[in-house]
Amino acid sequence: MQDEVTVKCEKQHTLKLSLSEFEEALEWDRCPKCGSKILEVEPDTFEVECVNCTWSEENDWQTISACLDQGCPRCGPELECDSPLHIIGSFYHKVAQYDACTNRIAATSLQRTSRADYWEVVIHFCEHKEFLSILKSGKIHACRTGLFGVPAVCFTETPLLLCEEIRRTHGDFGIAFQKSEIIRSGGNPAVYLQDSLIEAQKQMGGFCDDIKPFINILRIPSTAPKWSRKKKVDFLHEREWRVGDHVDPNTTKPLGLVFPEGKKFSGPYGSNLIEYAYKYDEIVER
């Protein structure tokens, strides 16, 4: 169904609305611009569906308006504000359908028994825009990182319920993988070595290329060499894992997606994101 509705009101406004905006206008039963009565609507039929029980009704806009008002005849009127009844094709319907169908995995179920600080999962956290581009392109892009500045994709092994600080730094959206899946793809925990150990390895001819993506300096002021500009380099708190290449979610299978609490499909990428998020489970903070 086309996501555009033309609405004319008593005061001669002609508005072009998305199906979701139209659904809002019907709930209010007024022109969204001036608050007067809606007179004409184009197209002339709409279909609503209940995502709980799949009850649906195709009819003219006045009847559809009454349906939305009364709620699903099978499930009854919803007490909560989130009604399961929406116009098919609208963003609201897609979100409700996602929420009804997606498989949720509780983060605590992935934790080691009596070890809230440990689980068998790593997460790549990123901003909204990168998240959409990953799902769209099917590729987590490797960025230059570590001591050698070679490309790698970074993950944290911090359990989800303790990721608040990391999410503030790296972004609130995440793609989670089983550690076993990352290891199978050549991934490994990042390695932190202090200057004296890096120097010792250099004496032996240096690091081989395969290891380079994982190597980082661990430096505190009392171990910092005189020549060093940065006297403290310590990223142990990131509890980082890496893969020394792009990661393709089609071959390295994600366990699920992580969304910011209550802001899953909000913002400018929301309606685009939902088209791709479908394929994955969701890891939730409980």
Determine if 97 is a binding residue for Zn ion (CB under 5 A).
no
Query: Buried (b) or exposed (e) across 219-230, using 16+ Cβ within 10 A?
Result: beeeebeeeeee
Interface residue with Zn ion among 8, 13, 139, 179 (CB under 5 A) is: 13
Query: Given strand 38-42, what is the order of strands in its sheet?
Result: 14-17, 5-9, 38-42
Q: What number of chain residues touch Zn ion (CB under 5 A)?
A: 14
Q: Strand 38-42 and strand 5-9: pairing?
A: antiparallel
Q: How far apart are the first and last CA of the chain?
A: 37
CB of 38 to Zn ion, least distance (A): 8
Binding mask 108-147 for Zn ion (x = CB under 5 A): -----------------------------------x----
Give the binding range for Zn ion (CB under 5 A) out of 21-29, 52-60, 221-229, 254-262.
52-60
Determine if 72 is a binding residue for Zn ion (CB under 5 A).
yes
Determine if 33 is a binding residue for Zn ion (CB under 5 A).
yes
Binding mask 142-171 for Zn ion (x = CB under 5 A): -x----------------------------
CB of 84 to Zn ion, least distance (A): 6
Instruction: Spell out the long-range contacts of 57-65 with Cβ–Cβ below 8 A and sequence spacing 24 or more.
Output: 61/26, 64/26, 65/26, 65/29
Interface residue with Zn ion among 1, 8, 24, 52 (CB under 5 A) is: 52
Helix H or strand E segment including 9: strand 5-9
Determine if 57 is a binding residue for Zn ion (CB under 5 A).
no
Cβ count near 52 (within 10 Å): 15
CB of 222 to Zn ion, least distance (A): 31
Rounded Cα distance, 85 and 82, in Å: 9
Interface residue with Zn ion among 5, 41, 50, 176 (CB under 5 A) is: 50
DSSP state of 142: P
Give the binding range for Zn ion (CB under 5 A) out of 50-58, 156-164, 199-207, 236-244.
50-58
Nearer to Zn ion, 131 or 280 (CB): 131
Residue pair 74/67 in contact by the 8 Å Cβ criterion = no
Q: Which of residues 73-92 bind Zn ion (CB under 5 A)?
A: 74-75
Determine if 30 is a binding residue for Zn ion (CB under 5 A).
no
> Residue 21: which of 36, 46, 4, 45 has the closest Cα?
4
- The residues binding Zn ion (CB under 5 A) are 9, 11, 13, 31, 33-34, 50, 52-53, 55, 72, 74-75, 143
